[in-house]
Amino acid sequence: MEQLAQGAQALGADWLLHSCARAVPLLYFGNTVQAILTPLFVFLLPLPGSILPRKFLSTSSPRALPARMPSGVRTEKQPALFIGTSWLFAVAVSVAWWCGLRKYVGLHGTCQELFDLSRPDGPFRRDYVGDFSRYFIYLSGFTALWTGITAGGLRLQSARAAEGDATGNTPYRFQGFYWACFLGWAVQYRINQWTAILAAGPNQEWAKFATLNFCFVTVGSLWVLAFVRSLWNKKPRTRSQAFLHALWISFLVYLLTVLTFFWLFIYAVLPLVPAITSWYVFGLAWVLFVGTWRWRILQKQ
């Protein structure tokens, strides 16, 4: 979306005739490959919850694991194992894609400057080729982080279900609510950013602002985790109370995110821009999502 926001006018006719117009989409396609391969890889790990056939899991089945390792290793270290492995694999995919495509364009002699990271950079220097290459690096780091969290979290839930943990007890309902709040905020805020970018139009430092937006998503989502327990412990008597409690927390998350970036001075208010330009539509969507989730759990209890 950041790339499309620049528009054909900003790129110019020379860019459209340049060979980089074919190389850049191929470069960004690496993030799609990353998003596809990372969950597949983590679900192939030979541990409980794997999609491998049973014959490959004979030594790592739930009954065999206690005999091979303490139960604490099986349950307490699984989050770090799955999420950490997902992160490393996602980064490896991006690095391999960059190196492979660089070799490919080198053999064909097209847009080799796209992979030249030594090109000078500055706020008053327009270098769209350099911007797109740097943006790929920023985007790959961002997608590696969130693909790793998402794929690792899903794999963790699958492992616990395979071990017979997902029985509907309160601790495991809280785990589902935890992931819903955390990932739900990341998704709505990222979509929210896209609307603000499209409204802003072309910008000379779009790669820099895109990087800041990646940081805002991550920091805001981490602040959400500070209030998940409060949302869970709150037992509203009506559905409206559930929504209002989540709404108050959503405002607080935005405020804390802005305060976190106070050292950026005028850029510190940027986390509020998507909410203002979208009339807080996406923030309200998160409130409805989380409030409904909590209310339904209370009804089951």
Which pLDDT does position 23 carry in this prediction?
87
Which pLDDT does position 285 carry in this prediction?
97
Which pLDDT does position 66 carry in this prediction?
41
**pLDDT tens digits for 217-265?**
999 999 999 999 999 998 999 999 999 999 999 999 999 999 999 999 8
Task: Identify the band that residue 206 occupies on the pLDDT scale cut at 50, 70 and 90.
Answer: confident
Which pLDDT does position 38 carry in this prediction?
96
Backbone angles phi and psi of 161, in degrees to 5? -65, -40
| Core vs surface per residue 31-43: b (16+ CB within 10 A) or e | beebbebbbebbb
Alpha helices in the chain (DSSP H): 2-5, 7-11, 13-17, 20-43, 65-68, 71-76, 78-108, 128-162, 170-200, 206-233, 239-260, 273-277, 281-300
**pLDDT tens digits for 260-288?**
999 998 899 999 999 999 999 999 999 99
By the 8 A CB rule, do 211 and 138 touch? yes
- pLDDT score of 58 more than 60: no
Average confidence score pLDDT of the chain: 83
Distance of CA 216 to the CA centre of its chain: 11
**pLDDT tens digits for 173-199?**
888 899 999 999 999 999 999 888 777
- pLDDT score of 170 more than 70: no
